[in-house]
A and B are shown apart, each in its own frame.
Chain A
Amino acid sequence: MNKIWNALLIIGICVSIFTGSFNNLGTVIINSATDAFSIFFKMALLLCFWNGIFNVAIKSGLIKNVTALLKKPLKWLFPEVDANSLCMEYICSNVVANMLGLGAAATPLGLKAFALLQEANPHPEKPTRSMITFVLLNISTLTFFPTTIISLRVLAKGTTNFSLILSMILLTFFATCFTIILDRLIYFFQRKKK
């Protein structure tokens, strides 16, 4: 992140000397702080609100009910993890939180699951197959209801029609399938080579 930050700043300032927007840049720099605050403000409030709603879903056991439905496909994805273990429960909750479009709520659950996966790892210096699959699932994030994204569009005074939500589901579904297939292919290829 450090390198990228430096690169953005240095390239930006150098280019501005050539394009003649050097003076304009001063105003931009001073306004950055207010700019950051207005975006932060929007995001922070959204996060508070959706985490509140999500906590109701956790406390009422709704998440547990959805989790039961997911046991089978997840067992296929993580053959090394015992289906009734605490680790599997965290994995399920993490996947459900991602499905509901609550990335911020999903991450702490995911980190706990990941620590438990590492505890069961026979070679602690190398990630197991399940660990890699789990991280990849958190990248492709199969989403059924993109709460944060929809809220941001509302704040920008835009409309979100049903077809956009549908495209989002389609897109994350595609990304998830793609990542699982690629993960499996590489895994079997590596095992064959050994």
Chain B
Amino acid sequence: MGIVVLYVLLIISFGVIKKVNTYDAFLEGVENSFTTIKNIFPNLLAIIFAINVFINSGIFTLLQNFLTSIRIVPEIIIQCFLKPISWSSSLVMMNKIFETYGVDSKTGMLSTLIQGGSDTTIYIIALYFSSIKMKKTGHSILVGILTDLAMFLMAFVIIGIFF
């Protein structure tokens, strides 16, 4: 994890060289994130409730019989479906995969790549266009979804080649 230390060191030392009050700047940044946090919780609770009901209903055992032939973990497929819609529900899926298969397993790594590979397409488009009250979104949804699909395939390829 040396890279995290280097990254933090770079930012802080740059602040020191530029004679910025780094302590106050840090506090201000933390304080500004409180509004974001406040908006996250209700969303997260609702989503985790629904996802828990869904994945504990035994639907995976049904899916597993169906999917064993192509050797893909059903949780990964669910994550791929959730990813374009909701970042936090896809994150919940990633945590479940970590618990079931292990963080450092191939499946765990694949799940990490899927989570980090792109942002939440539908949510981002809805957020940006609704912020200026525009109904037409041009070709953004089409390209966004195609990008997601390409990213999922690429994630599988990368895991297959490097790990």
Contact = CB atoms under 8 A, between A and B. Distances in A.
Interface of A: 1, 4-5, 8-9, 11-16, 18-21, 24-25, 28-29, 31-33, 35-37, 39-40, 43-44, 47-49, 51-62, 101, 103-104, 107, 110-111, 114-115, 118, 124-127, 131-132, 135-136, 138-141, 143, 145-147, 149-150, 152-154, 156-160, 162-165, 167-168, 170-172, 174-175, 178-179, 182-183, 186, 190
Contacts of B158: 167, 170-171
A53 B150 contact: no
A161 B14 CA distance: 26
A185 B76 CA distance: 31
Nearest to A151: B4
A179 B18 CA distance: 37
A5 B109 CA distance: 27
Most chain B C-beta atoms within 10 Å of own C-beta, residue among A29, A124, A160, A167: A167
A145 B1 CA distance: 12
A164 B109 contact: yes
Nearest to B15: A60
B58 A135 contact: no
Interface residues of B, number: 96
Contacts of A37: 45
B119 A138 contact: yes
Given A35-B52, A114-B131, A115-B131, A163 B118 contact: no
B37 A44 contact: yes
B53 interface: yes
Interface of B: 1, 3-4, 7-8, 11-12, 14-15, 17-18, 20-22, 25-30, 32-34, 36-37, 40-41, 44-59, 61-62, 85-88, 91-92, 94-95, 98, 102-104, 108-109, 112-113, 115-121, 124-125, 127-129, 131-132, 134-140, 142-144, 146-148, 150-151, 154-155, 158-159, 162-163
A158 B20 contact: no
B149 to A, nearest CB: 10
A132 B138 contact: yes
A66 to B, nearest CB: 11
Given A21-B57, A56-B12, A111-B127, 15 more contacts: A8-B54, A35-B48, A36-B44, A48-B37, A49-B30, A53-B11, A60-B17, A60-B22, A124-B134, A127-B129, A136-B144, A149-B112, A150-B4, A167-B113, A168-B112
Tell me what chain A mostly uses at the interface: helix, strand, loop, or mixed.
Answer: helix
Given A158-B98, A182-B143, A61 B18 contact: yes
A60 B148 CA distance: 35
B140 A135 contact: yes
Contact of A55 (B32, B55, B98, B118): B32
A109 B131 CA distance: 13
B17 to A, nearest CB: 8
Contacts of B33: 47-48, 51-52, 104
